[in-house]
Amino acid sequence: MNRQKIIPAVIKQIEHPGTYVKIFTLLPKEPVFFVPGQFLMVSVFPEGEAAFTPCSCIKEDGSFEIAVNLVGRLTSTLHRMKTGDTVGIRGGYGNGFSIKKAINSSGIVIIAGGIGMAPLRFFIQELLQYDKRPPLTIIYSANKASKFLFLQDFERWQQQENLDIFLAALEVDTQEWKGHIGRSTDMIEKLKKIDENASFFVCGPPPMFPHVLEKLKQFPVNEKNIFFTLERNMRCGIGKCGHCYMGDIRLCVDGPVLSVSDIKKYHLAVFRETEPFMSRYRK
C-alpha cells in the first residue's frame, strides 16, 4: 500500500453540527490502514493539508471517524462542508499507541483532556476487543460539561467489567451532568492498585502535561510506561521536510506518542509550563 498517495474520501456523516468539534465519518475510495494514535494528513481544497488522528476503528464498509476542532482556516472550511463532499487523505503516519505494551501491563490508565479523547477513544475500542486485558481506568476532563465527546460510548463502556471511568468538568453548564467537578489531576488521586508495571496513555492540551506527570509521581510508576501524545504542525508527515522537529527528533516519524523516559532522553521541552499553548485545544 502506498501511504503517500492521496486517496479521495467522501464525507458520509457529520455529527454535532453547530459545535466547535464535529465528528466526520469519512469513506475512502480505496482501503486505508492505521493503528490507534497514528495520524492522517487530510487535504481540504483550497486550504491544503492538516493532521488529524482517527477517533474510531475502520468499520466494515471501510469508513472511519475523525473529530475536528474548529481553530483556523482549514478546519473552518472543513466545518462548512456537507455530507457527500470529498476530502483527500494519506497515511497513517507516526508510531501510535502500543496495544502490546498496554495489554501486557498490570493496569492501563487513559488520561484525556478535551479533544485529546479522540485518538484515545479508538485506542479504547481496540483494548476492549481483548478478553484478557488488565484493569482499565479512563480519566477524561474538559473545561465545560457540555464539551464532553462520545458520552454514549461511556454509557456503554460503564457496563464492562474491570473498567473504571472518571469524568471531570471544571464548569457544569448542563443539567444532566453526572460526573465529577474538577480537573483530570484531581481524578488521578483516586487511582488504586498502581504498580511499576502499570501503563499510562495521556493526550490533551500541553499545559496539562507537567501537572499530570507530577501527580503520577505519587505512585511507583516507571517512566518507560508513561506515554504522552505530542504535537507539532505537520507538513510532509513522512520525515522529509523537517517541519515537525522537536529537539533532534521528527515527531511525524519518531512520535507523536513518546514515553516520559524518551522525552527526557531527547531533552524535549514538554513538561515546562512556559511551553507555548498549542491552539488545537483553544476553544
Ligand X SMILES: Cc1cc2nc3c(=O)[nH]c(=O)nc-3n(C[C@H](O)[C@H](O)[C@H](O)COP(=O)(O)OP(=O)(O)OC[C@H]3O[C@@H](n4cnc5c(N)ncnc54)[C@H](O)[C@@H]3O)c2cc1C
Q: Does 51 bind ligand X (CB under 6 A)?
A: yes
Q: Is 115 in the site for ligand X (CB under 6 A)?
A: yes
Q: Collapsing DSSP states into helix, strand and coil, what is residue 279?
A: helix
Q: How far apart are CA 37 and CA 109, in angstroms?
A: 15
CA gap 8, 212 in Å, rounded: 39
Q: Which is nearer to ligand FES, 215 or 280 (CB)?
A: 280
Residues 114 and 21: beta-carbon distance below 8 Å = no
Span from 51-59, 146-154, 161-169, 170-178 in contact with ligand X (CB under 6 A): 51-59
- The number of beta carbons lying within 10 Å of the beta carbon of residue 4 is 12
Q: Which of the choices ligand FES, ligand X, none does residue 231 contact, using the CB cut-off of 5 to 8 A by kind?
A: ligand X
Q: Is 38 in the site for ligand X (CB under 6 A)?
A: no
Residue 124's nearest CA partner among 52, 33, 56 is 56
Among residues 118, 136, 138, 249, the one that binds ligand X under rule CB under 6 A:
118
Q: What does the alpha-carbon distance between residue 154 and residue 165 come to, in Å, rounded to a whole number?
A: 8
Decide if residue 170 touches ligand X (CB under 6 A): no
Nearer to ligand X by Cβ, of 101 and 232: the residue is 232
- Select the residue whose beta carbon is closest to ligand X and give its number: 72
What does the DSSP 8-state code read for residue 4?
A: T
Using CB under 6 A as the binding rule, whether residue 72 contacts ligand X is answered as yes
Indicate the Cα dihedral angle 239, 65, 210, 141, nearest 10°.
180
Nearer to ligand FES, 11 or 50 (CB): 50
Contact positions vs ligand FES (CB under 6 A):
234-237, 239-244, 250, 252
